[in-house]
Chain A
Amino acid sequence: MVKTCVICDAARAVLKRPKTGQQICKECFYHVFETEIHHTIIDNHLFSRGDKVAIGASGGKDSTVLAHVLKTLNGRYNYGLDLFLLSVDEGITGYRDDSLETVKRNQQQYDLPLKIVSYEELYHWTMDEIVKEVGLKNNCTFCGVFRRQALDRGAAMLDVDHIVTGHNADDIAETILMNILRGDTPRLQRCTEIVTTGESLIRRSKPFKYTYEKEIVMYAYFKKLDYFSTECTYSPNAYRGYARTFLKDLEAIRPTAILDIIQSGEAFQIKTEVKMPVQQTCVRCGYMSSNELCKACVLLEGLNRGLPKLGIGKTERLRKQHNLQVSEKPVITETAW
């Protein structure tokens, strides 16, 4: 028997919606998927008319769908946004070469200006070289810290006000669980914020905060969007893997669990006695930092001195051993700005 869409009660249902379990048609799926993102954008006042917005584009499903949906909503609801694609080339042979090709095709398909910034240009180190130096244990730390800064620097070059990233509901829920598991209360408080602003004054936001990963994949599939589906060749941290598996189990038991975790995370309030790190600027590169030196500069210093453990774990002792001063000459070159 042919099932009818429970929303429009007219068209044939072709999918079971991961978020609600409803059997619905393709058009209704597009409608609810896009409308929820639209609600997220306007309820949280993410944009103002005339904003220049860079979409952090990796060529993966999240950012490809984000570019498509933002372009669609910008037209449909007349947000008045100036959209750009901003990509980071980490310098990972194979993985990043192919995904950057995808981003370049997206640029054509969506007719948006594209800017690519590379680790090599900003830090004089590619991820391949970093992995050779530090191995596969802490490489994701380097990549995470460098990518965040690289996006900010690329945004500064494009002179945009705002960066949007493709972090989805699954990512947020997983991060909430991770922060409870490792007792990181300052991050637990911050990780549910939909907009963050650092010293760089560039707003960052997550329009997919309430969007399920499975629905992003579904949307890309039905819309036949062109994305690069291989995972990063340098595998993620094992401890996070536990949380990810557990989250998938929860979602299988109760599909709303992902939203429910975010609901909990947003409701958490941390006692004020818990010290929140004070934000200041890095004395070397001027990037926002909770210490005198920002994380990227510490990591870079380690790489450049052949002490890649610097910045990971107990840095103080290492720093003393090697008699390192904080206020040394900046390592990051002028071209970075």
Chain B
Amino acid sequence: MSDVDSGPLRAPKPKAGTCIKCKTRPSTVVLRHVQYCKDCFLFATTGKFRSAFGKSAISNTTGHKAMVAFSGGPSSRALLHLMKGFQHVGSHQSGQKRLFDELVICHIDETAAFNGSSTLDMARVVVDTEYPDFTFHGQLIEDIYEDEALSSIDKKEKLRQLFAQAGSLTAKEDLLWHIKMHLLVKAAQKLGCTRLILGDSATRIAIKVISFTAKGRGYSLPLEIGGDIHGLYPNLVILRPLKDMLAKEIAIYDHSQGLLNSLVPATNFSTMAPPTASIDRATEEFIVGLDRDFPSTVSTIVRTASKLKLASSMNGQSRCALCHMPIQSGSKDWKQRITVQSTQCTRDSAPGTLTVPENILCYACQTDLSESEGWSRLADDASPSTQLEEFRSLGYPTLLTQDDMHQRIKDFLLDD
């Protein structure tokens, strides 16, 4: 290729010295080549957290009930603690009120998908003992099926079957994430929360930028990593206040605040899996390794992604039945033209007139679903409502309502 092949410069090894902020205490923490003492590090971290709520902090907090997603991992553990500090500091300031009216901590127990032992009680204990001002909300992943007729055992079995036929580990991991997102959104809406706070760190966001790109999720990427996302779900804003903090920064914070012994152990599909097992695992390995050699990797990726905007073609109507992201029209046709499957396909006209009905799924979810056993049986020319029916019958959850579907079918018929 003819472009200039220059990578970022390697960082020099920092020497031990004094804190750059107070210039008196010895440094104990090195971050982005800058040395801090513990106190100044904590001060900087809480300051960064507060500023992440940004200029819109007041409109984002006051009068709003917020839900914090708490998996119990290092990031969400730090998030919980920082939220407590955020609420606490606010209440001591005179005059204006600048905090959330109420905080609900939502933990999703995913163990039904893996046959693990429940994490619900551990999460509840952390919240009840250390953050008594917050409301705990536990959620079992199998409750994605709201059918009253199904017993708890039935629901677990249904979920296991869904994952068993879902295809590759990449598709399973995506599916798990979509289900968790559905549960968080549903729980937030049911409990009257208008803010959903997620614990994605800069490192996690950088990994998502690359893995989502690799999975064909570029169209919706700005919506999936943004720090302040409006309009994706009705009456619910998604916030990511840790988006400027590195995983290392968060680990140091957890350590310095004594939070490490109250983490909830994670079980998932790729625990112990080799880096070649899924796109998420490979990307994590790649980014973490690259960041070790070139320490600006994560921040550069995050900066690149922050310059992406929503596509001008995006409209609010066509949402993916699985991930709820906007569907880019024409992407199915795009792929068919460059992945010829038969010797009969000889259409010589330019694209524009669709030959196949648009899928009810976005490009990335189509790719995931094409690996599943049930979905591949469904005829390509099925109508969107038939597709949605089949989709539900396979056990996939969806946030799409029948109204959404009518809207979609109407659109499809009107479009030349």
Contact = CB atoms under 8 A, between A and B. Distances in A.
Contacts of B276: 249, 252-253
Interface in A277-332: 312-313
Interface string A139-153: 011001101100000
Interface in A214-229: none
B6 A264 contact: no
B309 A180 contact: no
Contact of B307 (A174, A254, A270): A270
B347 to A, nearest CB: 8
Given A144-B4, A144-B5, A236-B5, 12 more contacts: A20-B339, A28-B343, A35-B340, A167-B1, A176-B213, A183-B300, A238-B7, A253-B278, A261-B216, A263-B334, A264-B215, A269-B312
Indicate the member of A22, A167, A179, A239 with the most B CB atoms within 10 Å. Answer: A239
Given A269-B312, A274-B307, A237 B7 contact: yes
A259 interface: yes
A171 B216 CA distance: 17
A8 B344 CA distance: 10
A285 B397 CA distance: 62
Interface in B204-231: 209-210, 212-219, 221
B203 to A, nearest CB: 14
Nearest to B169: A253
A242 interface: yes
Given A182-B300, A252-B276, A254-B168, A261 B308 contact: no
Closest 6 interchain pairs by CB? A264-B218, A239-B7, A237-B5, A260-B216, A267-B219, A144-B2
A7 B341 contact: yes
Interface in B332-371: 334-335, 337-343, 345-346, 348, 350-351, 363-364, 367
A269 B5 contact: no
A148 B2 contact: yes
B2 A180 contact: no
B308 A268 contact: yes
B8 interface: yes
Contacts of A249: 275-276, 282, 286
A240 B212 CA distance: 20
Q: Is the interface of B mostly helix, strand, loop or mixed?
A: loop
Interface residues of A, number: 70
Contacts of B305: 180
Contact of A181 (B279, B300, B342, B364): B300
28 contacts: A7-B341, A8-B343, A20-B341, A40-B338, A77-B348, A144-B1, A171-B1, A174-B1, A175-B3, A177-B210, A180-B213, A181-B7, A182-B300, A210-B338, A249-B276, A253-B279, A256-B339, A257-B214, A257-B215, A260-B214, A260-B215, A260-B364, A267-B328, A268-B218, A269-B309, A269-B310, A312-B6, A313-B6
Contacts of B337: 36, 39-40, 43
A261 B367 CA distance: 12
A185 B304 contact: yes
A145 B2 contact: yes
Contacts of A181: 7, 290, 297, 300-301
B6 A239 contact: yes
Given A19-B339, A260-B216, A250 B282 contact: yes
Contacts of A20: 339, 341
Interface residues of B, number: 62
B408 to A, nearest CB: 20
A36 B1 contact: no
A246 B215 CA distance: 14
B135 interface: no
A136 interface: no
Nearest to B215: A260
Contacts of B219: 264, 267
B311 interface: yes
B221 to A, nearest CB: 7
Interface in B192-212: 209-210, 212
A263 B278 contact: no
Contacts of A261: 213-214, 216
Interface of A: 7-8, 19-20, 22, 28, 31-32, 35-36, 39-40, 42-43, 45, 77, 140-141, 144-145, 147-148, 167, 171, 174-185, 187-188, 191, 210, 236-240, 242, 246, 249-250, 252-254, 256-257, 259-261, 263-272, 274, 312-313
B331 interface: yes
A254 B301 contact: no
Nearest to B335: A259
Contacts of B304: 179-180, 183-185, 188
A8 B304 CA distance: 45
Nearest to A44: B350
A259 B340 CA distance: 13
Given A182-B300, A260-B214, A264-B221, A269 B311 contact: yes
Given A182-B8, A237-B7, A270-B307, A254 B1 contact: no
B350 A45 contact: yes
A140 B4 CA distance: 8
B45 interface: no
Given A188-B304, A250-B279, A268-B218, A36 B340 contact: yes
A42 B348 contact: yes
A250 B275 CA distance: 10
Interface string B68-81: 00000000000000
A183 B219 CA distance: 18
B210 A185 contact: no
Interface in B259-307: 275-279, 282-283, 286, 290, 294, 297, 300-301, 303-305, 307
Contacts of B170: 253-254
B339 to A, nearest CB: 6
Contacts of A77: 348
A7 B168 CA distance: 24
A267 B309 CA distance: 10
A36 B338 contact: yes
A188 B309 CA distance: 13
B4 A263 contact: no
Contact of A185 (B7, B8, B307, B348): B307
A177 B348 contact: no
B340 A39 contact: yes
Interface in B1-60: 1-8
B237 to A, nearest CB: 20
Interface string B306-336: 0111111000000000000000100100110
